[in-house]
Amino acid sequence: MSLENTLNMPYVDFMAYIKETNRAPWWEKMLLELAKTTFLNDKKKILHVACNTWSSLRELSLLSQCKWIGIDINENMVKVANDLKENDVLIKDLLDYKVMDGQNLDFDDWTFDVTFTTWWMAFIPNKQKWVQELVRVVKNWWFVADFIMYYKSNPPDYLIDEMNNLMKINIQKWDKDFWIDLYTSQWLSLFHEYDWEYQNATQEKLINYCRTMSRNRTDISEDESLLIEYKLYWIMSLFAENHKYLWASLLVFRKKTKNDQISLFS
């Protein structure tokens, strides 16, 4: 690939190109929390919408031996996920990755025990349609989960503009209540939440991460590897600045068929 193409590659395609598995901050803790809260085991069938290149599904399969389907609208992400899966003998038979639009899932009603996503709702203009699909394909009384990021303090407007320009989305200054209201409007009740505060990376750690990730591909020139390192450093520096204003939560909702009786002391 030419240096110009690498430089101009959109964010999602770029992350797939360097084989970044999208390990979210504190991901081991929040995935363990998800596995415990939703009672994952080898009899459960799970759907991960907007799975990227697979890291969450791999960890949850190792923890629980449950069967997963991961979908993503980006073909490059799905190709990388399937390539990585084939090289992992421990769990490759538990995972299946497909190219699919999360707003129009090609699954029957009540197919899965758990459906979940990881913040990628921010990419979707019609968020209610996305949630409706997550709810439609999950079994009654089981779970819909999301790892959300939200602003707990007020970020500067220029930072929001830069994030939107990078990721080609329309991030706004959403708080936690925005996400909770989005889900509870669709016959879901909040079952469990687990919160954490972002810890920013030191410059040394940031540089080491970018240098290591730039060498993930062994089929490129040294010049392209350096360009990847510099481009990734700019992206992750922007994320680090954004994280100063962010908190994150695992939200687990339960799908109900009718309203429960109210409780006075809950």
The domain locations on the chain are 21-160+168-198+245-255
Q: Which residue has the higher pLDDT, 243 or 29?
A: 243
State the average pLDDT over residues 67-91.
Answer: 86
pLDDT averaged over every residue in the chain: 88
First to last CA, the chain: 58
| pLDDT exceeds 80 at position 66 | yes
Residue 189 has pLDDT above 60, yes or no: yes
The whole-number pLDDT of residue 59 equals 79
Rounded to two decimals, the pTM is: 0.86
3-state class of 257 per DSSP? coil
Distance CA 150, CA 153 (A): 9
Residues 64, 35: contact at Cβ < 8 Å? Answer: yes
Mean pLDDT of 53-63: 78
Interval 219-229: pLDDT, tens? 889 999 999 99
DSSP assignment of 40-91 equals --TT-EEEEES-TTSHHHHHHHHHH--EEEEEES-HHHHHHHHHHHHT-TTT
For the ranges 2-6, 51-55, 107-111, the lowest mean pLDDT is seen at 51-55
Q: How confident is the model at residue 26 (pLDDT cuts 50, 70, 90)?
A: low
- Is 145 strand, coil or helix? strand
**Which sign does the torsion angle of CA 177, 179, 185, 188 carry?**
negative
Q: What's the confidence (pLDDT) of residue 187?
A: 84
pLDDT at 106: 96
Mean pLDDT of 159-179: 92
Query: Rounded CA gap, 167 and 148, in Å?
Result: 17
Assign domain 21-160+168-198+245-255 one CATH number from 3.40.50.150, 3.30.460.80, 3.40.50.2000, 3.40.50.1370. 3.40.50.150
Q: In 109-137, which positions are buried (b, 16+ CB within 10 angstroms) versus exposed (e)? A: eeebbbbbbbebbbbbeebeebbbbbbbb
Would you say residue 266 has pLDDT above 70?
no
Q: Which of 69, 48, 46 is nearest to 119 (CA)?
A: 48
Does residue 25 have a pLDDT over 60? no
Summarize the confidence of residues 43-58 as an average pLDDT: 84
Asked if residue 243 lies in contact with residue 200, where contact means CB atoms within 8 angstroms, the answer is yes
pLDDT at 265 over 90: no
Query: What pLDDT was estimated at residue 28?
Result: 76
Sign of CA dihedral 73, 74, 79, 82: negative
